[in-house]
Amino acid sequence: MPELVFFSGTMDCGKSTLALQIGHNRSARGLQGVIFTRDDRAGEGKLSSRLGLVTEATEAAPGMDLHAYLVDRLSRGGKVDYVIVDEAQFLAPEQIDQLARVVDDLGLDVFAFGITTDFRTKLFPGSQRLIELADRIETLQVEAMCWCGARATHNARTVGGEMVVEGEQVVVGDVNGPAAEVGYEVLCRRHHRRRMTAATAHAAALSPDVLPVTPG
């Protein structure tokens, strides 16, 4: 039976890498898929992983009807055996509904990949709808790590290395971008609550002791 599967996890846990691997495995067996993505770090119409792998994809623009796109492709004689959706958290809830229709009406497996919560620990609307509709939810087993070495469970937005908790829900940045720009970092819950990023922790470690230490 075809399924709508939601692969979720924090940043840096290998979601895009797994999406590329699923596509590779199926194409090696002669299957043809459609890859949708939104706001990938590599640019419009790209699916990329942090390991440096990139493939072409269809940009799932706001307002685009994903079900209608696939129906049109099939009606023109195109072959579609499965669907991959990366950065699914950025999709609108109605687009997630359209993916469910793709499974139910067109009989295609849909593999959606995304993070569940934003930098404020609030659910993305697309991820919330996936949790509500998915046949299966798979948490990726490659655990991202906080700077302290603990398992990272939260995504943080940073500006100049400092964590921020206000602003638009979707602002494209990168975990490897310059510190002065908008970036993202994964943190454990404790350090997310304390707003302590790797940069601020390093600065605190380098600061002088509050009480001076004098020799004997």
Mind telling me the catalytic residues?
A: 87
For every residue of 164-181, DSSP letters joined together read: E--S-S----BTTS-TTS
Pairing of strands 162-164, 154-159: antiparallel
In terms of Cα–Cα distance, which of 154, 155, 139, 142 is closest to 5?
Answer: 139
How far apart are the C-alpha atoms of 4 and 210, rounded to whole Å? 55
